[in-house]
């Protein structure tokens, strides 16, 4: 029987796999249905950077001496001297993806092209059925513990007619459609976060003569990401533990007030957009651009000539309007990706609401029957652990908590003072 099986290989489970390499007393196996590692491949736009420091890699905050640090990746790739001269903490997003891919290939515990089709209880743990997508064979594995790390899937806020599907792109597939979007006569971007801003900037920099480019968001403003040091202390274990201790209703009331910490736009990206527009305005030239907040997408329709009709509403003025475009990009975020087989566990676990299952401080689902074999989750955690649930730096904290529980270690090696602020 394997000690731990991880379902999905994104940054969270990949980091867990890397840290578990240090423990000879824990056996593990991780399955991913994609044939190779890819971290948001549709948003690896040239020139975009990671929004956190390279120190928020898979292992450094737990063990900077690990061979799986970003700095060791640079050393192994003969890029360390160039990185030293680069003198930046925010690294290119494409380079971070290459680092993650390097770690995935280095770990024997990570298996790709393997789809987990079912997880059920068995004596002493869980029975995991895995389909090999290459040859169709089905294998069974037994594990004492499982870790759900299936991440998220694109969220589409309105119904998209079948006829409109070829012309509507979620931001997660932007690079797949980049050429077609740049060549279209009229393009609209919907969304308020970093992805929307990066896509709009990329389209703006490649805007052809006569192309109409627009950007709408239902947010009240194009909000800058909170980067002040004290604000960033909400991305520390100390605050996560405080947030988890709050009653469910208070946690849900707090989440909207934390959106500026995660969903804002880098100041440099906003500045580059403004500078691009300003330079175009010299000598009286006005760019063919519409930028409008407080405007919500209500519906998408397809016209007879295959163009899209976007029905919009400026919610503050309660003013409705429609625009005709050739293509639309929905940078509207993501929703938790819960596998279909998980429904078998829904009646077995405790819930805090109809949509939020109860999660312990160390990321275990709470079963109605007390069990020594645990079902951990890194998916759908905002309600339990706050806006930092998907933060790269804190994924190491999550992994340390899981490893501590699996190994039965009483003293946590990461129990150090992590913030200057007091939260209680």
- In the chain the domains, ranked by start, together with CATH numbers, are 2-151+337-407 (3.50.50.60), 156-224+264-330 (3.50.50.60)
3-class DSSP assignment, residue 41 = helix
Q: Which residues neighbour 274 within 8 Å (Cβ) at sequence distance 6 or greater? A: none
pLDDT attached to residue 412:
54
Helix and strand numbers, DSSP H then E, in the chain: 13, 17
Distances (CA, A) of 96 to 71, 92, 363: 11, 7, 26
Strands 168-170 and 327-330: parallel
pLDDT attached to residue 411:
59
Sign of CA dihedral 370, 372, 375, 377: positive
Q: Where are the beta strands (DSSP E) in 123-262?
A: 125-132, 138-148, 152-154, 168-170, 186-190, 212-216
* Nearest CA-CA partner of 313 in 330, 292, 334, 288: 292
pLDDT attached to residue 416:
64
pLDDT attached to residue 328:
98
Strands 327-330 and 186-190: parallel
Q: How far apart are CA 97 and CA 102, in angstroms?
A: 9
Q: How far apart are CA 15 and CA 19, in angstroms?
A: 6
* pTM confidence score: 0.94
* Nearest CA-CA partner of 406 in 8, 93, 2: 2
Q: Which residues neighbour 59 within 8 Å (Cβ) at sequence distance 6 or greater? A: 15, 18, 19, 66, 68, 69, 396
List average pLDDT for each run of 10 residues in the chain, which is 424 residues long. 97 97 96 95 93 93 96 97 93 96 98 98 96 97 98 95 96 97 97 96 94 96 87 89 95 87 88 94 84 97 92 97 97 95 97 96 95 95 88 91 89 68 88
pLDDT attached to residue 414:
56
């Amino acid at each position: 029987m394997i000690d731990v099986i991880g379902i999905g290989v994104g940054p969270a489970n990949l980091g867990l796999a890397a840290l578990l390499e240090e423990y000879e007393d824990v056996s593990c196996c991780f399955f991913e249905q994609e044939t190779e590692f890819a971290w948001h491949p549709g948003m690896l736009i040239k020139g975009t950077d990671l929004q956190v420091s390279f120190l928020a890699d898979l292992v450094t905050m737990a063990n900077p001496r690990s061979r799986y640090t970003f700095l060791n990746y640079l050393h192994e790739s003969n890029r360390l001297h160039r990185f030293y001269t680069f003198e930046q903490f925010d690294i290119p997003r494409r380079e971070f993806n290459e680092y993650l891919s390097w770690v995935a290939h280095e770990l024997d515990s990570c298996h790709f092209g393997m789809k987990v089709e079912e997880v059920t209880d068995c004596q002493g743990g869980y029975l995991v059925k895995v389909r090999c997508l290459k040859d169709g064979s089905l294998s069974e594995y037994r594990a004492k513990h499982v870790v759900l790390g299936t991440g998220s899937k694109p969220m589409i806020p309105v119904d998209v007619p079948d006829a409109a599907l070829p012309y509507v792109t979620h931001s997660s597939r932007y690079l797949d459609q980049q050429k077609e979007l740049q060549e279209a006569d009229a393009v609209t971007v919907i969304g308020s976060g970093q992805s929307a801003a990066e896509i709009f900037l990329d389209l703006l920099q490649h805007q052809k003569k006569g192309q109409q480019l627009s950007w709408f968001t239902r947010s009240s403003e194009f909000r800058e990401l909170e980067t002040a040091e004290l604000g960033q202390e909400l991305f520390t274990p100390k605050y996560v533990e405080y947030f988890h201790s709050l009653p469910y209703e208070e946690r849900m009331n707090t989440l909207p007030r934390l959106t500026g910490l995660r969903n804002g736009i880098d100041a440099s990206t906003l500045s580059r957009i403004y500078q691009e527009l300003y330079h175009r305005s010299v000598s009286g030239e006005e760019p063919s651009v519409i930028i409008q907040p407080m405007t919500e997408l209500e519906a998408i329709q397809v016209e007879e000539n295959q163009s899209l009709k976007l029905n919009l509403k400026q919610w503050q003025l309660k003013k409705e309007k429609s625009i005709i475009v050739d293509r639309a990009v929905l940078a509207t975020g993501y929703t938790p990706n819960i596998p279909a087989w998980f429904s078998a566990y829904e009646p077995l676990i405790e819930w805090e609401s109809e949509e939020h299952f109860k999660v312990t401080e160390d990321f275990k689902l709470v079963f109605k029957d007390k069990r020594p074999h645990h079902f951990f989750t890194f998916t759908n955690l905002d309600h339990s652990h706050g806006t930092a649930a998907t933060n790269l730096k804190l994924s190491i904290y999550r992994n340390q908590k899981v490893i501590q529980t699996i190994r039965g270690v009483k003293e946590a090696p990461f129990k150090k003072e992590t913030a200057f602020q007091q939260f209680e």
